[in-house]
């Protein structure tokens, strides 16, 4: 039986890993490293419980407060120790976090086949750390699993073209189809659901204050699921949550609750890559506070709108009605099963 080590460390990766782990453990000795990149209980341990995932075999508890170089270096050191001990047949990484980068670098330096799930995504903004991480993972991956044709074309443009690139849909679609029926309405009134955490939206006091002022002026209440780093910035800037009567600040939610808030909201406002995609899968209009997106398919027919330089464009975007929804654009909910079959075949 082949041994495979999956590396996770951030909230979106737990969601992607849940359906994968359930399939992997049927056919392989499937171990999990949790780097501890997301250290908040609501952003980490609760997910393993809620998604019925086995506890990670290795937990580093590195935390997200360290500088990126130091954080990645510590992760690499600890991942390397595990790989030397376990001698896996492959290392599997997801997406584009520092945990992804650390796992990819250790695998390639140790000569262990690397598997990258969610390969080929590009924002074409190399100022984003995530863009650098995903490019490196794709460059050295032995098996690349792409969620869309656009992702495959992105790889081809970079000269990455070989028989081990596959389109298998998106494993987050697997989870949405499992979780959405459990979603329940939490608020009777109409509302917008927001998540904002990226440094370019939160690390400048004028920027985050402008975002909050617009949220506070909207025609419906804003349920703002506030990331720990965003909350830290508000406190550093002496911005009080109580100054915004139209915003209901809530801590990071469980996955079922997050899907519930999205499913019953009028519109999602976010800067998260995963939430953009979840909104589309749930048939919800989304406004993304970024200048670019990896999930370009969501922009078709106004299901997702990019707003960045001129935040007041949020008002017009909220008035736009999307058209022509495309079913199963990110797969049919069986991506994990297909991916595991291909891994088994190619290992």
- The confidence score (pLDDT) of residue 54 equals 83
What band does 43 get if pLDDT is binned at 50, 70 and 90? Answer: low
Measuring CA to CA, which residue among 222, 197, 180, 228 is closest to residue 318? 222
- Mean pLDDT across the stretch 206-212? 98
Which of 170, 169, 165 minimizes the C-alpha distance to 138? Answer: 165
| Catalytic residue positions, numbered | 197
Dihedral, CA atoms, 126, 132, 137, 138, nearest 10 degrees?
10
Q: Percent helix, strand, coil in the chain (nearest 5)?
A: 45, 15, 35
Q: Kindly state the average pLDDT of the residues 254-269.
A: 95
For residue 209, give both structure tokens.
């204050």
Which is nearest to 117 in space by CA: 34, 199, 36, 24?
24
Q: Do domains 3-170+331-346 and 180-319 have the same CATH topology?
A: yes
Give the mean model confidence (pLDDT) for residues 201-227: 97
Q: Quick one: pLDDT at residue 42?
A: 57
Q: Domain residues of the chain, as ranges?
A: 3-170+331-346, 180-319
Return the minimum-mean-pLDDT range out of 32-41, 131-140, 183-192, 221-230.
32-41
Q: How high is the pLDDT of residue 253?
A: 87
In CATH, the number for domain 180-319 is 3.40.50.2000
Give the chain's mean pLDDT. Answer: 93
Residue 44 has a pLDDT of 58
User: b/e string for 279-308 if b means 16 or more Cβ within 10 A?
Assistant: bbbbebbbbbbbeebbbbbbbeeebbbbbe
Q: Is 250 helix (H, G, I), strand (E, B) or coil?
A: strand
- Selected from 1.10.3720.10, 3.20.20.210, 3.40.50.2000, 3.40.50.410, the CATH number assigned to the domain covering 3-170+331-346 reads 3.40.50.2000
Predicted structure pTM score: 0.89
Q: ∠ CA(109), CA(110), CA(113), 5° rounding?
A: 95
Residue 131's φ and ψ, nearest 5 degrees, are: -65, -45
User: Is pLDDT at 125 greater than 60 in this prediction?
Assistant: yes
């Amino acid at each position: 039986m082949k041994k495979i080590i999956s590396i996770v460390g951030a909230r979106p990766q737990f969601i992607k890993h849940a359906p994968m782990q359930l399939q992997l453990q049927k056919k392989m000795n499937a171990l999990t490293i949790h780097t501890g990149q997301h250290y908040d209980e609501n952003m980490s341990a609760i997910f393993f419980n809620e998604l019925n995932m086995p506890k990670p075999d290795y937990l580093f508890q590195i935390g997200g407060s360290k500088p990126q170089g130091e954080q990645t270096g510590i992760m690499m050191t600890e991942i390397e120790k595990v790989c030397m001990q376990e001698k896996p047949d492959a290392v599997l990484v997801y997406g584009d976090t520092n945990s992804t980068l650390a796992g990819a670098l250790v695998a390639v330096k140790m000569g262990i086949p690397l598997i990258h799930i969610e390969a080929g995504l590009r924002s074409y903004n190399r100022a984003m750390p995530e863009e650098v991480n995903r490019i490196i993972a794709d460059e050295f991956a032995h098996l690349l699993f792409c969620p869309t044709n656009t992702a495959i074309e992105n790889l081809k443009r970079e000269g990455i073209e070989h028989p081990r690139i596959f389109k298998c849909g998106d494993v987050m679609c697997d989870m949405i189809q499992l979780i959405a029926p459990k979603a329940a309405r939490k608020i009777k009134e109409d509302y917008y659901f927001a998540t904002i955490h990226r440094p370019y939206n939160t690390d400048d006091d004028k920027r985050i204050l402008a975002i909050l002022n617009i949220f506070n002026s909207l025609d419906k209440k804003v349920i703002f699921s506030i990331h720990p780093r965003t909350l830290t910035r508000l406190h550093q800037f002496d911005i009080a949550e109580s100054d915004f009567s139209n915003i209901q600040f809530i801590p990071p939610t469980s996955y079922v609750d997050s899907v519930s808030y999205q499913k019953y909201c009028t519109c999602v406002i976010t800067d998260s890559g995963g939430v953009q995609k979840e909104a589309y899968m749930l048939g919800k209009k989304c406004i993304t506070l970024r200048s670019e997106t990896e999930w370009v398919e969501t922009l078709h027919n106004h299901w997702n709108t990019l707003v960045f330089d001129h935040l007041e464009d949020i008002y017009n975007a909220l008035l736009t009605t999307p058209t022509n929804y495309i079913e199963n654009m990110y797969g049919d909910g069986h991506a994990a099963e297909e991916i595991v079959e291909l891994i088994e075949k190619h290992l």
